[in-house]
Amino acid sequence: MKKIIIANWKMGLTFKETQFLLEKISTFEAYRHFLIVCPDFLNLAQATQILKDTKIKTGGQNCSFHHHGAYTGEISALDIKAAGAEYVIIGHSERRRIFKEDNSMINQKIKIALEAKLKPILCLGESLLERKTGRTRPVLSSQLKNALKGIKIRKASDLLLAYEPVWAIGSGQPMESEEAERMHKYIAERAFALTGKRLAVIYGGSVKPDNAHDFIKQKNIAGLLVGGASLQAKSLKRLLNI
């Protein structure tokens, strides 16, 4: 079954490396899954240009929680859309933890992204401490509820959810795929209760070509959000054909 692979390149490539990788993936032929590439902002417009004759879509890695105005260093959702992107990652744990994004900022970003006709990829995930103290489900439920407060989702495809246990990101220690499947089912049910829509829930956290199949074979896992392993054309190609 066709799944969604999201390549989150973070700040992991130089300008030149990004261009090189984009050129490479624009030559990929017949692959199984659907690919969304999220380069840094400097490369976003050009990425969309380079990939325009392919089925590959692009996304921003973040957006401002303001519409427009005197916000030095911010990037608006409208400009991300104008650069040709269809998606935007919101609430990645690195944004929550390092840049102190809270639930109300994330909620505002989702509203603004939807108004700009971008499809948010909302990231959710528990920390190791929350996991160890048995709070995973309440934490996920509250992240979801707060992020979607006051938001009406018109079509299921307007919003993607990414379940990324914080302890699994970049650690080389993915969640067991059977446990991930149970968590995805839980998140999908909570999301349905809140939105009335069957949203796609994607897994992220130390996915590599060698373990990707364990996840995508699961019924409730709609795809993969991949950081480290999406930075090389060879492993990205393998992920797309699993």
Catalytic residues: 92, 164
Residue 120 near ligand PEP by CB under 6 A: no
Residue 226 near ligand PEP by CB under 6 A: yes
CB 188 within 8 A of CB 142: no
* Beta-bridge mates of residue 122: 90, 161
CB of residue 78 to ligand PEP, shortest distance in Å: 25
Residue 222 near ligand PEP by CB under 6 A: no
Residue 228 near ligand PEP by CB under 6 A: yes
Q: Which of residues 8-27 bind ligand PEP (CB under 6 A)?
A: 8
Burial (CB count <10 Å: 0-12, 13-18, 19+), residue 178: exposed
Q: How does DSSP assign 166-223, residue by residue? A: GGGTTSS-PPPHHHHHHHHHHHHHHHHHHHSS--EEEEESS--TTTHHHHHTSTT--E
- Residue 202: partners with Cβ closer than 8 Å, 6 or more residues away: 4, 6, 121, 160, 161, 162, 163, 221, 222, 223, 224, 225
Residue 207 near ligand PEP by CB under 6 A: yes
CB of residue 169 to ligand PEP, shortest distance in Å: 4
Q: Which of residues 130-189 bind ligand PEP (CB under 6 A)?
A: 164, 169-170
* Residue number, 78 or 226, with CB nearest to ligand PEP: 226
CB of residue 36 to ligand PEP, shortest distance in Å: 13
Closest CA to 58 of 97, 8, 98: 8
Residue of closest CB approach to ligand PEP: 227
**Stretch in the footprint of ligand PEP (CB under 6 A) among 36-44, 54-62, 96-104, 219-227:** 219-227
The helix (H) or strand (E) run that includes residue 121 is strand 119-124
Contact pick of 105, 205, 216, 218 for ligand PEP (by CB under 6 A): 205
CB of residue 203 to ligand PEP, shortest distance in Å: 9
Closest CA to 55 of 121, 2, 1, 18: 2
Residue 204 near ligand PEP by CB under 6 A: yes
Determine the Cα–Cα distance for residues 169 and 165; give it in Å rounded to an integer.
Answer: 7
Contact set with ligand PEP (CB under 6 A): 8, 164, 169-170, 204-207, 225-229
